[in-house]
Structure 1
Amino acid sequence: MTATVERTAPVTRVRPPSRRKSRRLEPFTIASYAGVICFGLVCAIPFWMVVAGSLTAESALSQRGYSFWPTPFSLDAYTTLFQGTRVWLSYGATIFITGIGTAIAVAATSGIAWVIARGLPRVSRPLAVFAYIPMLFNGGLVPMYILITQVLQLQNSWFAVILPLVIAPFLVFVQVSFFRATPQEILDAARIDGAGELRIFFQVVLPLSKPVIAVIALFYAVTFWNEWFHALLFLSQPEKFPLQLVLQNLISSVTNAAELGTTSAAPVYQMRLAMTVITIGPILLAYPFAQRYFVKGLTLGATKG
């Protein structure tokens, strides 16, 4: 008796044909992209015209004004500016004011914001009121001038430009909101391990606050870099003038153009545009390095708390 074995064919699963989901752009998305592109062009075209004008010969600028292309091409303005010593001294003054001022401002803002965020009795609320009052009004120009020149004796000192801008109340409260969003469990764990308040602040809170610190540092750096009014008030020695004050003097007075270089016939119009490029170029290039922290730090510090 023979047994018959039936063989069954293997079952093959038929996969349905893959359908690629075609993602259609909504009209709002298209309009948003178009609006952003148009806004970018509106911002970029004037800057490009300034760059092109700084590379255009003085004779062409005086005859036909601005143009999109530097024709004829000329580097006379940059050569004249960098032959003299005024621009180099101004760069040194601006870098000192921006670097030291940003460091002091970030340290002071972080310390005040942490004390306010901690909610300490009899300390946090008066300090918050003290930081909030300058957002509404200030003492005025004359009391500040007397304080800087007669009380603190900071005439012709770069710290006369730095100290009035050390604390920005708006940035203090942005950082307060960020500090209040710090998880309390992390702070309690650090206290259980025996960490004091200073150690918690420097080793726990500050490393977690890199995004908001980067945003605040960028705001302060732009403020110090563009500052010229306090320099105009408190600085009278030309070798201590920052870049922005030199640019303001160059725009307001044609005779100051020849003092920046070594040539007697300085390209005045071309030098104004070249000085503008030299002044705004470094701070414009600093933004991409802080871009990854910028949006995150600003939104977290402004919405949480």
Structure 2
Amino acid sequence: MTTATSTTSSLAKAAGRTAAKRRTGGWEPFTVVSVIGVALFMLICLIPFWVILSGSFTDEQTLAGKGYSLIPQPFSTAAYKLIFTGPTLVSAYVASIFITVVGTVLALSITSGLSWVIARRLPYVSRPLAIFAYIPMLFAGGLVPLYLLVTQYLKLQNSYFAVILPLLVAPFLVFIQVSAFRQLPEEILDSARVDGAGEMQIFFRIGLPLSKPILAVVGLFYAVHYWNEWFTALLFMSDIHKYPLPLLLQNLISNVTFSQMLPTAAEQSTPVYQLRLALTVVTIGPILLAYPFAQRYFVKGITLGATKG
């Protein structure tokens, strides 16, 4: 009896010390190591962005002679003055925003509908659509057939939809969303069917509202893909005023003379290195701002799509 009482007293004292430690804000060694590790990883990820940002504000002669530094010395905004003067950057932003917004909305709508039909295992429909979505993960038609289809048959050359349509359905994202849809509670869906709801009503009123995390993740993947896409635009865009931002940046990096299309004074030489970094900053800025809005759904959405339902 005495031994049991002493054991209970020891456990109570240990629990009290743990609670007191938590109240005083004491950290366990594992927590300290985790915080330090995450902080170091964050610095490793942020330093390249900071070097790009610092280089975009560094004088061109300093960049060419001494290379990059963490502090812009001497400070110069010549590249940003060139970028924001004239319609070149504005038209590129308009093209990228249109391609990203319209492409993401269309791709998310088609992917969600296709995934729902596959996930519901509807007779005579789900299996053929699953095969139809799976085959492009293994085989591709090739670059030449794609070019002929878009330019000769669809007549979409120099059209924003020439970039949107080839990337409209990503098979990998389709099956991620299928896995997420299959994890929805069957009881809720069956109750809706008993109440007389059709498949379309269940999809729009129950399926989509319960799948916000995976929709946010898939939409973010599509948005990043469309925003960063330049190769498809390179194939089908010949009008400079319809170039999206990544293609504008790619041309500037691969061909120094492309920078002459930006307005500049006759007696002033174009700051090529500084201009590349500045254009990189204005290109990646908007897409970085999209992550905080989807952050609350991101981890949960990845978890839903990564497990087998």
TM-score, normalisation: structure 2: 0.90
Report the residue type matching 2:60 in the other structure.
E
1:11 corresponds in structure 2 to: none
Query: How far apart are residue 30 of structure 1 and its match?
Result: 4.2
What per-residue deviation string (whole Å, max 9, x for no partner) do you get for residues 76-97 of structure 1? 1111111021100000000000
CA distance in 2, matches of 1:263, 1:84: 12
- Residue 113 of structure 2 corresponds to which residue in structure 1? 111
Let me know the Cα RMSD of the aligned residues.
1.7
Structure 1 match to 2:293: 289
2:22 paired with 1:20:
no
TM-score by length of 1: 0.91
Residue 245 of structure 2 aligns with an amino acid whose one-letter code is L
Number of the residue aligned with 1:149: 151
Q: Which residue of 2 aligns with 1:82?
A: 84
* Residue of 257, 264, 280 corresponding to 1:255: 257
User: Alpha-carbon deviations, 1:216-260, whole Å to 9, x = none?
Assistant: 000000000000000000000001000000000111111111212
Match in the other structure for 1:67: 69
Q: Which whole-Å CA distance do the structure 2 matches of 1:257 and 1:157 have between them?
A: 24
Quote the Cα distance in structure 2 between the aligned partners of 1:56 and 1:261: 20
Tell me how far apart the structure 2 counterparts of residues 110 and 272 of structure 1 sit (CA, whole Å).
38
Which amino acid is 1:273 matched to? L
Name the % identity.
63
Distance 1:43 1:140 in 2: 36
1:229 to 228, 231, 241: 231
Could you tell me how far apart the structure 1 residues matched to 2:206 and 2:131 are?
27
Read off the aligned partner of 1:77 and give its amino acid letter: A
* Matching residue of 1:268: 272
Separation in structure 2 between the aligned mates of residue 170 and residue 80 of structure 1, nearest angstrom: 41
Q: What 5-or-longer segments of structure 2 have no aligned partner?
A: 1-11
Give the match's secondary structure for 1:189: helix
- Secondary structure of the 2:16 match is coil
Q: Which has the larger radius of gyration?
A: 1
Q: How many residues align?
A: 290
The answer on whether the counterparts of 1:82 and 1:261 sit within 8 Å (CA) in structure 2 is no
More helix by share: 2
Runs of 4+ in 1 over 6 A off after TM superposition: none
The amino acid that maps onto 1:255 is T
* Corresponding residue of 1:4: none
Q: Distance in 2 between matches of 1:129 and 1:34?
A: 47
Name which of 278, 302, 305 aligns with 1:301: 305
Could you tell me how far 1:28 is from its partner in structure 2?
A: 4.8
Change in CA separation of 1:69 and 1:143 when aligned onto 2, cut-off 3 Å: same
